[in-house]
Amino acid sequence: MESETGTSASALRLLAGQDGKRSKGRIELLEKIAETGSISAAARALGLSYKAAWEAVDAMNNLSHAPLLERVAGGRQGGGTVLTERGREVVKAFGRMEAVYGEFLAALKGQAGLEQFLKSLWRSNMQTSARNQFLGRVLSVKIGAVNAEVILDIGGGDQLAAIITNESVENLALKPGVEAYALIKAPWVILTTDDSMKTSARNRLCGTVVRCQEGAVNGEVILELPGGKTVAAIITNDSIQSLGLKEGVRVCALIKASHIILAVAA
């Protein structure tokens, strides 16, 4: 179902909690960013860690057909973050949906059977440990003897190619125009600063490093694509240092087609 703003019901569910109420990490975060003009300030106001706030922002941008937030120069501390027109539309649409949903729950009060059914539906919503989740539309499906190649348009001029079984294509009812999710675990992402490097990886997403945090052995690198979506990679600290990765460095994410999991909304 699409709202008048073009916001799908599945996308709105991603902003809601399991009980349909506001999720502090999602919709309220958008509102606080709009109010403060800063992700860090919004996180503090909501009692979220800076990392959790950024991960929520990345997830929302990646699961939207258009970016919900954008960085601007000259903010309160030399830069800031604001909601795009799409982001403002989503907040308004969620507010209307929340009001209607509240009336719906009030009407169901006392009808235990229906309430349990609704809770089961919320529990069935997709949850995954994959750090990278992209919402897109199938461009093409090429069937082979055993496996199929599915090309997914994730927006911003970027595409992903996934190799899955023919049976999975049939079970997911994948065909051109169908909306689908691409799931990629962060350790499966290979980074390179050499744009001309030839590899067997089917997918190459190039952008700029926006965050780079080293851990005890491995580090997390976040690169932003030209269309506003982000890719998270987990690589060793040695790799971060040898590649000279830091904020502002151009880098490409290499992803094997067999490492992409496709999913569709139920």
Q: Where are the domains of the chain?
A: 9-123, 132-183+259-263, 186-257
Letter for the amino acid at 164? I
Cβ atoms 137, 157 nearer than 8 A: no
pLDDT attached to residue 23: 47
The answer to whether the pTM exceeds 0.85 is no
132-183+259-263 carries CATH number 2.40.50.100: yes
Task: Name residues whose C-beta falls within 8 Å of residue 197's C-beta, 6 or more positions apart in sequence.
Answer: 252
- Give ∠ CA 175-179-181 in degrees, rounded to 5: 110
Residues written for the chain: 266
Cβ-defined contacts of 68-72 (< 8 Å, 24+): 68/30, 69/30, 69/33, 70/228
The fold of the 9-123 domain, in CATH, is Arc Repressor Mutant, subunit A (1.10.10)
The 10s digit of each residue's pLDDT in 190-233 is 999 988 788 889 999 999 999 999 999 999 999 999 988 999 99
Q: Which residues of the chain have pLDDT under 50?
A: 1-24, 75, 122-124
pLDDT at residue number 211: 94
pLDDT value at residue 218: 96
The reply to whether 9-123 and 132-183+259-263 are identical in fold is no
CATH code of the domain occupying 186-257? 2.40.50.100
- Identify the pLDDT of residue 59: 85
